[in-house]
Each structure stands twice: as C-alpha cells, then as structure tokens.
C-alpha cells in the first residue's frame, strides 16, 4: 500500500472549469411533496478532463448527469446551488436560453443508442441535422457529417449514411450518437452508461474511441457508469455518490486502490477482484439498503449501514477531510478505514465435484426462418459434473442462450443430438420429459422482474413449484417452502409479499429458491446478477456457492462479466457462432495460452484492477450464423489468421493439454509463445521493428 500514484489532475485555479457544480440540491415533487434526491453535490471538471460518478442505482448519479445539462423531468426542481458550464450559470437561464446554450456547449450520450436515434430517418439525415442546427448550410453540414462518422472510426461513412438505425449494430449506433454529440464541438460531454448493454468487445472499442476523441477535442467528460472497470479505464478522477451526496472524491486509481470512505470500501470489496475464487473467500456484502428517496439524513448519509458508525457519526455532520492530493472523504473515522472487518475471509464454500451428471454430444440446433436455415448450435459436446460450475462465455449471438434453452428443453435440438442426464437420454422438449427430469434441470433467469409472476405472492410462487415438482402436498409442501425460504434467507413476511414489493436482490433470491424447489441436479443461471447492483450481486454469488456446496448441484453459468465467471466457475467454455472454441479449467483458461478468440475476449474487458497488458481489438462484428465463414468460423476476425489453412479447413476441438480443449490450427506451444510475447512487448517500451510489424498485422495497439 505504499505504491505511488500518478499525480492527480486537479483543476488549477487559473482556468475556468468546463463544468462546475456548486452545492447542488435537487428534489423530485412526488404527489405534491418535494423529495430530496441530491443533497449538496459539488464537483468540477477541468477542460479535457474525464470525471466519473459511481454508486449504486438510486444514489442520484444519473440525476446529477441530467442536472448538469439542466435536462430534468417535469417534477424535478433545483432547490439550491449553481451549475456553471464554462463559467455560465445555467440555473439562472430561461428555458430557451438553456436550449441554445446546450446546443453549443454541452452534449449528452445516453445508455440506449437505439432509442436515441430516430428509427424512421436515415443516419445521414440525422447526422447532417446535428450540423444544420448549428447554422451550417446543407453542403457544409453534409461534408462535416461524413467527416464526423469517419472520426468515430466508421469504416464506410457513405454506406452508413444511407442506412436506417435498425440496420446498424448497437456499437455502430453508439458511434453515430457520439458523432452527433461531438458536432457542436462541446466543452462538456455527458455520457450516461454509454456501454451498458453492449458486448465486452464492442464496449472496449467504444471506450477506446471516447478516449481518443477526448484527447483530440479537449472536451471535458462526465461519465456515469455502474461498471467500475469502465470508470477506471476512462476517468482521471472519480466521485463516489451515496444517497445524493458525493462521499469521496479523488484520482480514479487512488480511490479504487486506497478507498477512504466505508461505502467505497464496501463497494470495492463486494466485487470479485484480483481473480478471487469462491474457494478462497466469500464476497463482502453491504448490509441494509439505500435509504428511500426523500429520507431525512441530517448527519452522515451512510451512518445506517456503516460498520464504523458511532455516536459522533449520528450527531455531527462529518467534515470534508483531505486524505491525499485532491483526494478527500466525508468521514469522521477515515483513519480507522483499515479496521473494517473482511467478513468470512478464508471460509469460501466449495462443492466437491462428483460424477458426470449431464453429457451433451453432437448437439445441434437449426432454426428455420423463411426458407433459410440458421444453425445456432453446431455439434456441441460438453459435460457437467455434480457440484461443478461451468461458465459459458461469448459475445451475444454466440449461441450461449440457445445452448441453455436446448438443455432446458425450451428448444428441441436437431435429430442426431444427444443429451444425457445421469446417463439417461432426455426427451428433446420439456413437455415430453418426465417430472423427474423436469425437477432435475431448472433455471435462474437474468431479470427477476420478468421471471416472477407479479400477480402471485412469494409463497404461491414457491409453493406451486414445490407441489408440481416434488409431488409433496399439504403440510409437507409448506415445510419445504419454509425450508427454501430459510436457505435463501427470506423471512415469513417476505413470503406473503408480491414480487413488486421486494427489492431486486430479494426477487432474485426468490427466483433461486424456485429453481431449487425440486432439489435440481443442474441449474442454468443465465446472467443471474447482471440486473443487480454490485453489493447485491455479491450476496447472490455467495448464496449460489453456498447452495452448491450443500446440494452438489451443477451450475451452467452464463455471464458476460468475467469477474463473476472467474469467481464462480470451475470450468469455462467459450462459444463463438454456435461452436465451442475452447473448454478448460477456470484457472487454465484465465492463465492461458488461449484460443485467439478467448484471448481477445479476455483482453477486452475493462477491469477495476486496471487494464489488461495488451488490448486486442476484434475487427468487425460477429458474422451471421445463417452464412458462417468457411473453414474456422473465427478466421474473419482472428488476429492470428494463417492464410491457406484457417479459411479452408475447420479445426477440430482437441485436447491440447489435460483438461483443456481448443479448436484452433495453431499448436498450443506456438500460442503460448505468441501470447507471452504480446504481453512482454507491452511492458518493454521500445518495441522491436519486427514485433511492431506483427502487432500492426494483428491489430494490437502497441503501448
């Protein structure tokens, strides 16, 4: 902990801040009563600086972002403070004035690019409009619009010009939105969850783009993201928000490595970081929930959940304490941060692995759409053992969900496929399977709001599953429901509530309890925590591994969050275009050498622990499964493509070392050499000419 950190970029007194928020208070009027959402938020961003706001949903970070450009819902009222963009106070402006000011000085990029573009207007028209609004002539605007698309790395601007938004991928749409946002050459660019919902590989390229553009334009960036890795990879400074107040602020690296506020500590510890695994320790959780909007919080906003809270915290407003250059915290007890106990350290739960419970061989699934056949799964061979977690990763469209659906029997596989459960052949669809098979394979869905019937009470939801799957009746069934609730730490009171009355974490617990109603052998967990905040995610991951340790259930875990996969999974399977490209023990896969596709995936993910050594950019998008590339299906995007082999023959999935299968023409030792070389290159600043050439050919960014 004695590492030196890069000097923080504190806005110097001489220049005017691009955005300066002073003691901003804001309330939403709900049924006539003002409910405070922001309680005196102050921060400033220098020109060319990137500032990140982090915090869990409901903490006020998005409200701050919208308030920064004074774009508020009708019931939002600024009740105090000032917002200065480039020195001009926008809280004092009339609504017309604000609109004109925004047009020239500030732009915003929202989470959903599909929603930000007009679906019935061609891209070109929309981008040109962004320039004509500024008073440019049609010709001038068109020239600038083409240049703008070129600037956001769109390869063929003229072709994109004539397209409609739905004809572009999510990543392309977001590039177009960013191009439009930059039209006015704004001093301030507000990005609200710009990469949420995009694949890791696409996310990486959008983040690269924002980084480059920031250097080119010297615009200040305010970034809102729930993903701390995204914040760390892009931001110079970061503010941690809790209940409408910034509780800690400082250099991003320093805050993430040496947090000085108990909430920040809790938030960071609840993430699976530094490659921690379930066998090493349980994840820390933050007890309690965010106070409801409008709650009166006279002293420290975090006092009710803080492990350090004492009488002083309840009676005296904590001062702003400097704990480093430009790093401050609002805590009475910042000197006792190290005393916060690490819960459950060393007692992580592990299941001992048992016999093979599920075996897939030659499983294919072809969809038929208007005369075309679309192979979504191609000859998948996979096994899952008792008490084992198999992590399934890959970009969207790689067939992960189809594979899960096929195992569950939601989609019947093609003839010739074989799925064995405990060595017994399974019927293709769930409807045809006996109750025993049904209770043995269950699922936890991504979104608990959709997965639980909102019209039923929790008791009804669990009771129905218990009765249907176990055949228990009356008292025995009720007892089983009580036991499930107890295992998932749901109280009797929760049982009588409807899902709408529960928080997201509790809803997901109910969904897990339902999956465990009939003592399943296998549970498919489809992105089980991606709809949840990180502290809640930690609790759910802990519960999943505890249940597994007790019941020896095998998990098929689908997740795009490699931290989650690494924490929970014992083995990992990587999918691309419906094929398994690599399977291996979790540690083997994370250590490498990897299939080039896995290598690219692993390097794309922004981590809260800092950037991976080498960044590999995947070119283009995942091809259509209806028309897969010849030979190795990954050859069109592969940075280790070998002319004459890869596009001709499809490599088989072979065991390259014990417990590690790969589908690649390049021998393992060659991959090992190439991949260690890439890492070394990045550390050695003077790149040898031949390596540079290779790096350019392979699409690696040197340095």
Partner 1 sequence: MAVSVTNAPGPAPAAATPASERAQARRETLKLLLRRPGFVVGIVILTFWVICAVLAMLEVPYTPWDPFDGYDLTIDNPAPPSSEHLMGTDRLGRDVFSRVLYGARDVFTVAPPAALIGVVLGALLGLVMGFYRGITDDVLSRIVEAFLALPVIMVALLTLVVLGSSSVVVIGVVGILFTPIVARTVRSAVLAERQLDYVTAARLRGESGPFIMVREILPNIAGPIVVELTVRFGYAIFTVATLSFLGVGLQPPSPDWGLSVSQEYSNMISGVWWPTVFPALAIATTVVAVNLIADGLQSVLSE
CB closer to partner 1 out of 443 and 614: 443
Task: Please report how close the Cβ of residue 250 comes to partner 1 at its closest, in angstroms.
Answer: 29
Helix (H), strand (E), coil (C) string for 312-345? HHHHCCCCCEEEECCEEECCCCHHHHHHCCCCCC
φ/ψ of residue 361, rounded to 5? -135, 135
Q: Are 565 and 582 in contact (CB under 8 A)?
A: no
Task: Please report how close the Cβ of residue 384 comes to partner 1 at its closest, in angstroms.
Answer: 18
Q: Which of 357, 408, 601, 646 binds partner 1 (CB under 8 A)?
A: 408
Question: Binding of partner 1 at residue 358 (CB under 8 A)?
Answer: no
Residues 448-467 within binding reach of partner 1 (CB under 8 A): 450-457, 464-465
- Closest listed residue to residue 63, CA positions, set 97, 33, 28, 20: 28
Cα-atom radius of gyration of the chain, to the nearest Å?
26
CB closer to partner 1 out of 103 and 549: 549
Classify the C-alpha dihedral 664-669-674-679 as positive or negative: positive
Q: Give the H/E segment covering residue 282.
A: none
CB closer to partner 1 out of 220 and 539: 539
Question: Binding of partner 1 at residue 514 (CB under 8 A)?
Answer: yes
CB closer to partner 1 out of 378 and 558: 558
Stretches 272-280, 312-320, 491-499, 550-558: which one binds partner 1 (CB under 8 A)?
491-499
Stretches 379-387, 388-396, 511-519, 639-647: which one binds partner 1 (CB under 8 A)?
511-519
Counting residues that bind partner 1 (by CB under 8 A) gives 49
CB closer to partner 1 out of 466 and 618: 466
Q: Is 305 left (phi over 0), alpha (psi -120 to 50) or beta?
A: alpha
Neighbours of 504 (CB within 10 A): 19
Task: Please report how close the Cβ of residue 362 comes to partner 1 at its closest, in angstroms.
Answer: 24
CB closer to partner 1 out of 115 and 432: 432
CA dist list (Å): 142 to 91, 121, 130, 185, 388: 34, 15, 10, 16, 57
Residues 520-559 within binding reach of partner 1 (CB under 8 A): 536, 539
Q: Which of 77, 122, 143, 468 binds partner 1 (CB under 8 A)?
A: 468
Neighbours of 292 (CB within 10 A): 9
Q: What is the Cα–Cα distance from 69 to 96, expressed in whole angstroms?
A: 13
Range 441-456 burial, b when 16+ CB lie within 10 A, else e? bbbbbbbbeebbeeee
Neighbours of 183 (CB within 10 A): 22
Task: Please report how close the Cβ of residue 511 comes to partner 1 at its closest, in angstroms.
Answer: 8
Task: Please report how close the Cβ of residue 540 comes to partner 1 at its closest, in angstroms.
Answer: 11
Stretches 286-294, 306-314, 348-356, 615-623: which one binds partner 1 (CB under 8 A)?
286-294
Measured in whole angstroms, the distance separating CA 44 from the mean position of its chain's CA atoms is 27
End-to-end CA distance of the chain: 26
Question: Binding of partner 1 at residue 443 (CB under 8 A)?
Answer: yes
- Closest listed residue to residue 503, CA positions, set 463, 539, 532: 532
Neighbours of 510 (CB within 10 A): 24
Stretches 85-93, 320-328, 346-354, 493-501: which one binds partner 1 (CB under 8 A)?
493-501
- Closest listed residue to residue 290, CA positions, set 282, 301, 274: 301
CB closer to partner 1 out of 43 and 263: 263
Task: Please report how close the Cβ of residue 656 comes to partner 1 at its closest, in angstroms.
Answer: 36
CB closer to partner 1 out of 282 and 539: 539
Task: Please report how close the Cβ of residue 393 comes to partner 1 at its closest, in angstroms.
Answer: 21
Is residue 74 packed enough to be buried (19+ CB in 10 Å), middle (13-18) or exposed (0-12)? exposed
Q: Which of 167, 279, 315, 501 binds partner 1 (CB under 8 A)?
A: 501
Is residue 629 packed enough to be buried (19+ CB in 10 Å), middle (13-18) or exposed (0-12)? middle
Question: Binding of partner 1 at residue 77 (CB under 8 A)?
Answer: no
Stretches 43-51, 73-81, 220-228, 445-453: which one binds partner 1 (CB under 8 A)?
445-453
Question: Binding of partner 1 at residue 368 (CB under 8 A)?
Answer: no
CB closer to partner 1 out of 416 and 500: 500
φ/ψ of residue 629, rounded to 5? -60, 155
Q: Which of 345, 491, 624, 649 binds partner 1 (CB under 8 A)?
A: 491
Task: Please report how close the Cβ of residue 524 comes to partner 1 at its closest, in angstroms.
Answer: 10
Question: Binding of partner 1 at residue 287 (CB under 8 A)?
Answer: yes
Query: Across-strand partners of 242?
Result: 245
Q: Are 250 and 240 in contact (CB under 8 A)?
A: no
Residues 471-490 within binding reach of partner 1 (CB under 8 A): 489-490
Q: Which of 29, 155, 355, 435 binds partner 1 (CB under 8 A)?
A: 435
CB closer to partner 1 out of 190 and 443: 443
CA atoms within 13 A on the CB side of 1: 7
CB closer to partner 1 out of 506 and 601: 506
Question: Binding of partner 1 at residue 494 (CB under 8 A)?
Answer: yes
Task: Please report how close the Cβ of residue 517 comes to partner 1 at its closest, in angstroms.
Answer: 8
Q: What is the Cα–Cα distance from 133 to 139, expressed in whole angstroms?
A: 13
Stretches 18-26, 155-163, 173-181, 404-412: which one binds partner 1 (CB under 8 A)?
404-412
Question: Binding of partner 1 at residue 410 (CB under 8 A)?
Answer: yes
- Closest listed residue to residue 390, CA positions, set 250, 176, 570: 570
Q: Token digits for 141?
A: 């605007």
Question: Binding of partner 1 at residue 341 (CB under 8 A)?
Answer: no
Map residues 290-329 to x or -, x wherever contact with partner 1 holds by CB under 8 A: --x-------------------------------------
Stretches 115-123, 199-207, 230-238, 285-293: which one binds partner 1 (CB under 8 A)?
285-293
Question: Binding of partner 1 at residue 512 (CB under 8 A)?
Answer: no
Question: Binding of partner 1 at residue 506 (CB under 8 A)?
Answer: yes
Q: Which of 505, 528, 596, 628 binds partner 1 (CB under 8 A)?
A: 505
Q: Are 337 and 363 in contact (CB under 8 A)?
A: no
Cβ contacts of residue 404 below 8 Å, gap of 6+? 392, 443, 524, 526, 556, 558
Task: Please report how close the Cβ of residue 381 comes to partner 1 at its closest, in angstroms.
Answer: 24
Q: What is the Cα–Cα distance from 142 to 381, expressed in whole angstroms?
A: 52
CA dist list (Å): 276 to 3, 389, 586, 620: 21, 15, 12, 33
Task: Please report how close the Cβ of residue 528 comes to partner 1 at its closest, in angstroms.
Answer: 12
Q: Are 517 and 470 in contact (CB under 8 A)?
A: yes
Q: What is the Cα–Cα distance from 356 to 514, expressed in whole angstroms?
A: 24
Question: Binding of partner 1 at residue 496 (CB under 8 A)?
Answer: yes
Question: Binding of partner 1 at residue 57 (CB under 8 A)?
Answer: no
Task: Please report how close the Cβ of residue 433 comes to partner 1 at its closest, in angstroms.
Answer: 8
Question: Binding of partner 1 at residue 30 (CB under 8 A)?
Answer: no
CB closer to partner 1 out of 250 and 448: 448
Q: Are 333 and 302 in contact (CB under 8 A)?
A: no
DSSP states of 395-439: -TTSSHHHHHHHHHTSSPPPTT-EEEETTEEPPSSGGGS-HHHHH
CB closer to partner 1 out of 465 and 588: 465
In eight-state DSSP terms, residue 457 is: -
Question: Binding of partner 1 at residue 442 (CB under 8 A)?
Answer: yes
- Could you list the residues that contact partner 1 (CB under 8 A)? 287-289, 292, 408-410, 430-431, 435, 438-439, 441-443, 445, 447, 450-457, 464-465, 468-469, 489-494, 496-498, 500-503, 505-506, 514, 517-518, 536, 539
């Amino acid at each position: 902990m004695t590492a030196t950190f890069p000097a923080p970029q504190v806005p110097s007194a001489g220049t005017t801040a691009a955005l300066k928020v002073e003691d901003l208070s804001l309330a939403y009027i709900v049924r006539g009563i003002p409910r405070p959402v922001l309680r005196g938020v102050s921060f400033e961003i220098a020109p060319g600086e990137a500032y990140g706001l982090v915090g869990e949903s409901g903490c006020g970070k998005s409200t701050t972002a919208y308030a920064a450009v004074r774009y508020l819902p009708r019931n939002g009222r600024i009740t105090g403070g000032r917002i200065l963009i480039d020195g001009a106070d926008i809280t004092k402006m009339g609504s017309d004035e604000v609109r004109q000011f925004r047009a020239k000085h500030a732009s915003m990029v929202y989470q959903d690019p599909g929603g930000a573009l007009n679906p019935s207007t061609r891209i070109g028209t929309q981008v040109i409009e962004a320039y004509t609004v500024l008073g440019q002539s049609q010709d001038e605007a068109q020239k600038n619009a083409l240049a703008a698309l070129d600037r956001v790395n769109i390869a063929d601007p003229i072709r994109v010009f004539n397209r409609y938004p739905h004809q572009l991928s999510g990543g392309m749409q977001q590039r177009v939105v960013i191009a439009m946002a930059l039209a006015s050459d704004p001093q301030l660019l507000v990005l609200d969850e710009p990469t949420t919902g995009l694949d890791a590989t696409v996310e990486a390229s959008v983040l690269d783009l924002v980084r480059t553009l920031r250097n080119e334009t010297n615009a200040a960036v305010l970034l809102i993201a729930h993903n701390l890795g995204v914040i760390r990879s892009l931001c110079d400074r970061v503010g941690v928000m809790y209940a409408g107040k910034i509780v800690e602020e400082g250099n991003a690296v320093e805050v993430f490595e040496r947090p000085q506020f108990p909430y920040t500590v809790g938030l960071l510890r609840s993430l699976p970081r530094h490659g921690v695994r379930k066998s090493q320790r349980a994840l820390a959780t933050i007890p309690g929930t965010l106070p409801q909007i409008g709650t009166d919080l006279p002293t420290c906003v975090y006092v009710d959940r803080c492990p350090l809270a004492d009488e002083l915290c309840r009676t005296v407003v904590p001062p702003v304490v400097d704990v480093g250059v430009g790093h401050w915290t609002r805590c009475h007890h910042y000197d006792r941060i190290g005393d916060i106990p690490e819960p459950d350290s060393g007692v992580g739960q592990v299941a001992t692995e048992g016999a093979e419970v599920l075996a897939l061989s030659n499983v294919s699934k072809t969809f038929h759409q208007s005369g075309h056949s679309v192979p979504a799964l191609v000859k998948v061979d996979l096994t899952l053992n008792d008490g084992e977690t198999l992590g399934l990763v890959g970009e969207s469209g790689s067939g992960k969900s189809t594979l899960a659906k096929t195992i569950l029997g939601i989609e019947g596989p093609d003839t010739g496929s074989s799925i064995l459960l405990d060595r017994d052949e399974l019927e293709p669809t769930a409807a045809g399977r006996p109750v025993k098979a049904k209770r043995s394979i269950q699922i936890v869905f991504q979104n608990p709001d959709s997965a639980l019937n909102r019209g039923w009470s929790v008791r009804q939801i669990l009771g129905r599953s218990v009765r249907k799957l176990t055949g228990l009746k009356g008292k025995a069934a009720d007892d089983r429901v009580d036991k499930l609730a107890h295992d998932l730490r749901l109280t009797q009171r929760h049982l009588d509530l409807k899902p709408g009355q529960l928080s997201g974490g509790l809803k997901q617990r109910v969904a897990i309890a339902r999956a465990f109603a009939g003592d399943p052998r296998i549970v498919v967990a489809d992105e089980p925590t991606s709809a949840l905040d990180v502290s809640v995610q930690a609790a759910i991951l802990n519960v999943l591994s505890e249940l597994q340790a007790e019941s020896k259930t095998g998990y098929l875990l689908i997740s795009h969050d490699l931290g989650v996969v690494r924490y929970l999974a014992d083995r990992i399977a990587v999918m691309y275009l419906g094929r398994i490209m690599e399977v291996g023990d979790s540690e083997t896969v994370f250590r490498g050498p990897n299939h080039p596709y896995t290598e690219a995936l692993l390097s794309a993910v922004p981590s809260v622990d800092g950037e991976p050594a080498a960044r590999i950019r995947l070119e283009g998008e995942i091809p259509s499964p209806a028309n897969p590339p010849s030979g190795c299906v990954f050859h069109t995007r592969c940075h280790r493509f070998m002319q004459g082999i890869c596009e001709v023959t499809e490599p088989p999935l072979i065991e390259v070392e014990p417990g590690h299968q790969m589908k690649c023409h390049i021998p393992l030792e060659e991959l090992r050499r190439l991949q260690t070389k890439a890492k070394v290159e990045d550390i050695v600043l003077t790149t040898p000419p031949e390596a540079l050439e290779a790096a350019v050919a392979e699409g690696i960014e040197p340095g």
